[in-house]
C-alpha cells in the first residue's frame, strides 16, 4: 500500500472492503500517517445539542420535522452558556454547538447572541457550529460573532442518491453552495457522509472520498447509518457489522488521502460497538466529541435508535475518555482547541503535499 494522496476510485473501493488482517494493516498505516502529519494528539470537543427543532424532513433522521414523537426543545443563550461553563470547568477549550436546521430570524439571533456571550466570557474558546444550510450573510454573521469552524454534512456526494434520502424541498446544489459559502466566509469547513446508508453502492463511498479531496475540506465527521424506527427509512435491511467495518475503513482511507485534516471518531460508531470510538481513533481519527448537553434533554436528540447518552457525570465521563485515549498510546488534548493543520496550511498558502 503506497503512501498516496492521489488514489483511483478502484483502489478506494478495494481498500474500503478490507477485512481481517488486511483491515488491521490498513488502520495501522492510517495511524502511522496520522502520527507523521498531525501527531498523536486527540482533540476533545464538548458537544452541545442546543435545539432539536428542525425544518427539514430527511427520510433517515429521528428529529425530522414530521416525527411527532419528539419532545422539541431549544436552549436559551444563557442555558447554552451554562453548558459551555460545564465544558470549560472540565478543562475543555473547544465546543461544538449543534442543532436542527432553521432559517428564521429568531433562530439566527439565538445563535449569534449565544456565540457573542460565549466569546465574551471565554475569548479563547474554539467554537464549531453545525446548524445547517444558511444564507451566506448568515454564515458571515456567525463567523463574526465567534464561530470558527462549521460542520455541514453532504450526507452523500451523489446527487441522485441525495434525492432518495431527502424530500424534494431539499436541494443537493444548495448544500454544495453552502459548503462553498462557508469556505469563502473563512470558516474551517467540515463535511461528511452517512456510511452504508440505504441505496448506497460501494462506488458512492469512493466518490465521497474524492469529493472531500476536491472540496479540499479541513475536517470530516462521518458515521454509519443506523435506522431510526420512527422514520421512512427505519425498516430497511441493514448489517451493523458491515456498517461498522465500512465506517472504520472510510476513516482510514480518508486519513491516507488527506493526511492533515481533522477527522472525528463519531458517536454512531460507538452505537454499533461499545469501543467504537476507540476503534475510530485506531483507524486514523484525531477528534472526539463527548456530550455536554443538559443530561435530561439528551434522549430528545435521538437521530437514530440507541444513540448513546454519555453520562450525567460529565467530568467522570471525560476523565475515563482521556484514560481510554491514553491506553491507545494517543495523547488527549483539552487545552488547545485543535485548529485543522490543513486549514492553517491552505490559508497560509503552503503546499500540503
Ligand atoms: N443514522 C446515522 N446518522 C444519522 N444522522 C441523522 N440521522 C442518522 C441516522 N439514522 C446524522 C446525519 C446528520 C447528523 C446530524 O446526524 O449525517 O447530518
| Residues facing 94 on adjacent strands | 126
Is the Cβ atom of 63 under 6 angstroms away from ligand 1? no
User: Is any ligand 1 atom within 6 A of the Cβ of residue 27?
Assistant: no
- Whole-number pLDDT of residue 350: 55
Q: CB of 51 within 8 A of CB of 75?
A: yes
The C-alpha cell at 200 is 448506497
Place of cell 470549560: 88
DSSP 129: E
Cβ of 54 below 6 Å from ligand 1: no
165 lines ligand 1 (CB under 6 A): no
Cα separation of 181 and 206, whole Å?
25
* Strand ranges (E), 166-319: 188-191, 194-195, 219-220, 223-224, 262-263, 287-288
Contact call for residues 56 and 132 (beta carbons, < 8 A): yes
**Of 288, 195, 200, which is closest to residue 246 (Cα–Cα)?**
195
Q: How far apart are the first and last CA of the chain?
A: 18
Q: How far is CA 273 from CA 26, 267, 304, 314, in A?
A: 19, 10, 15, 21
Tens digit of each residue's pLDDT, the chain (353 residues): 433 467 899 999 999 999 999 999 999 999 999 999 999 999 999 999 999 999 999 999 999 999 999 999 999 999 999 999 999 999 999 999 999 999 999 999 999 999 999 999 999 999 999 999 999 999 999 999 999 999 999 999 999 999 999 999 999 999 999 999 999 999 999 999 999 999 999 999 999 999 999 999 999 999 999 999 999 999 998 899 999 999 999 999 999 999 999 999 999 999 999 999 999 999 999 999 999 999 999 999 999 999 989 999 999 999 999 999 999 999 999 998 899 999 999 999 755 43
CA dist 294 and 86 (Å) reads 10
Residue 195 near residue 225, CB atoms below 8 Å: yes
Q: Contact 281/264 with Cβ under 8 angstroms?
A: no
Query: Which atom of ligand 1 has the smallest separation from the CA of 194?
Result: 17
Q: How far is ligand 1, taken at its centre, from the CA of residue 302, in Å?
A: 9
Q: What is the pLDDT at residue 5? A: 65
d(CA 272, CA 108) in angstroms, rounded, equals 34
Testing ligand 1's pocket by substitution, the residue of 231, 303, 305, 306 carrying the most ligand atoms inside 8 A of its CB is: 303
Can you tell me whether residue 189 is helix, strand or coil?
A: strand
Among 49, 61, 293, which residue has the most ligand 1 atoms within 8 Å of its CB, making it the best to mutate? Answer: 61
Alpha carbon 208 to its chain centroid, in Å, reads 15
Binding site membership of 61 for ligand 1 (Cβ less than 6 Å): yes
Mutate to test the pocket of ligand 1, among 58, 59, 101, 304 (most ligand atoms within 8 A of CB): 304
256 φ, ψ (degrees, to nearest 5): -65, -40
SS3 57: coil
Q: Where are the beta strands (DSSP E) in 237-346?
A: 262-263, 287-288, 331-333
Q: Are 249 and 18 in contact (CB under 8 A)?
A: yes
pLDDT for position 130: 98
Tell the residue nearest (CA) to atom 6 of ligand 1.
61
Amino acid at each position: 500500500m503506497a503512501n498516496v494522496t492521489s488514489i483511483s476510485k478502484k483502489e478506494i473501493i478495494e481498500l474500503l472492503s478490507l477485512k481481517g488482517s488486511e483491515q488491521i494493516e490498513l488502520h495501522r498505516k492510517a495511524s502511522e500517517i496520522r502520527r507523521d502529519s498531525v501527531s498523536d494528539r486527540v482533540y476533545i470537543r464538548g458537544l452541545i445539542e442546543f435545539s432539536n427543532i428542525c425544518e427539514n424532513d430527511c427520510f433517515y433522521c429521528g428529529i425530522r420535522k414530521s416525527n411527532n414523537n419528539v419532545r422539541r426543545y431549544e436552549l436559551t443563550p444563557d442555558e447554552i452558556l451554562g453548558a459551555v461553563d460545564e465544558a470549560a470547568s472540565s478543562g475543555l477549550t473547544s465546543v461544538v454547538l449543534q442543532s436542527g436546521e432553521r432559517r428564521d430570524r429568531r433562530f439566527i439571533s439565538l445563535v449569534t447572541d449565544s456565540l457573542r456571550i460565549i466569546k465574551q466570557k471565554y475569548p479563547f474558546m474554539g467554537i464549531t457550529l453545525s446548524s445547517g444550510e444558511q444564507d451566506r450573510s448568515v454564515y458571515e454573521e456567525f463567523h463574526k460573532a465567534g464561530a470558527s469552524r462549521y460542520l455541514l454534512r453532504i450526507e452523500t456526494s451523489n446527487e441522485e442518491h441525495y434525492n432518495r434520502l431527502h424530500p424534494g424541498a431539499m436541494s443537493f446544489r444548495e448544500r454544495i453552495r453552502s459548503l462553498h459559502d462557508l469556505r469563502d466566509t473563512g470558516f474551517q469547513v467540515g463535511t461528511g457522509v452517512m456510511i452504508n446508508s440505504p441505496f448506497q453502492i460501494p462506488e458512492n463511498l469512493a466518490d465521497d472520498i474524492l469529493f472531500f479531496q476536491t472540496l479540499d475540506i479541513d475536517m470530516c465527521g462521518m458515521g454509519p447509518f443506523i435506522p431510526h424506527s420512527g422514520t421512512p427509512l427505519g425498516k430497511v435491511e441493514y448489517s451493523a457489522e458491515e456498517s461498522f467495518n465500512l465506517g472504520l475503513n472510510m476513516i482510514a482511507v480518508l486519513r491516507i488521502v488527506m493526511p492533515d485534516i481533522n477527522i472525528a471518531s463519531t458517536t454512531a460508531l460507538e452505537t454499533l460497538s461499545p469501543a467504537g470510538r476507540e476503534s475510530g481513533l485506531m483507524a486514523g481519527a484525531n477528534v472526539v466529541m463527548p456530550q455536554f448537553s443538559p443530561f435530561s434533554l439528551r434522549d430528545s436528540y435521538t437521530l437514530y435508535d440507541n444513540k448513546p447518552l454519555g453520562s450525567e457525570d460529565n467530568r467522570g465521563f471525560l476523565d475515563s475518555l482521556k484514560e481510554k485515549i491514553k491506553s491507545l498510546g494517543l495523547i488527549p488534548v483539552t487545552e488547545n482547541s485543535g485548529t485543522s493543520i490543513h486549514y492553517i496550511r491552505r490559508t497560509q498558502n503552503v503546499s500540503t503535499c
